[in-house]
Amino acid sequence: MPAPALVINASPNPEKLALYADRFLARADVYARRYENRWTGKSGWTPAVVGGWRKGMKHESVSYLPLTPEVIKEQFWGNVFIGSYPLLADNTCYFLVADFDGKPAMLDALAYAKAARTNGIPAALEISQPGRGAHVWVFFTEKIPAATARSVGTTLIHEAMVLRGSMDLRSYDRLFPSRDTPSGAAWAT
């Protein structure tokens, strides 16, 4: 498949959506939605399900909503915040994300991105929602075993610690995919 044309801020929306679809290849049968509890002030992510996710629901008793082009458009318009599940049924993935949260997140994420660049691995850095963290994305040209992707990510964490000197993993949250293989009911998410 040929690489998409250069997409910039002024590019037409269909080109932006095509680039997103080309890069963020993940499970299409389910996606996550961000929630904010107005009573407790807590926020997080839940699987998108028919009728909305509620506390105490069992994964086997819900109908998951698929990740469709319409859902992606809603994300682009800022109507919803979605997350994807990069671990595919065959234990592979198309991308790896390192998640950093808290005060030292940006400096630690920059060290991670520098470790990637030092190893010839292109990495994209983004400020994460709601601005108190960072993600570092590594996209693969083809799907690879999730175990391999996570091994690369773990190596980059260790190298970032050396580069940063004072990085003690307080800001490092996790890698996505978060597992090498699907497991039981957790596979639903």
Quickly state the pLDDT bin for 4 (edges 50, 70, 90): low
DSSP H helical ranges for 54-104: 69-76
* DSSP state letter for 5: P
Query: Phi and psi for 146 in degrees, rounded to 5?
Result: -60, -35
At position 93, the amino acid (one-letter code) is C
pLDDT reported for residue 3: 59
pLDDT tens-digit readout, 144-185: 999 999 999 999 999 999 988 876 778 999 999 999 998 754
Please, what are the domains in the chain? Answer: 13-83 (no CATH), 92-176 (3.30.70.120)
Mean pLDDT of the chain, nearest integer:
89
Contact 116, 156 (CB under 8 A): yes
pLDDT reported for residue 131: 75
Tallying the residues shown for the chain, one arrives at 189
The answer on pLDDT for 186 being more than 70 is: no
Structure tokens at 129: 């929602």
Q: What is the pTM of this model?
A: 0.87
The answer on pLDDT for 188 being more than 50 is: no
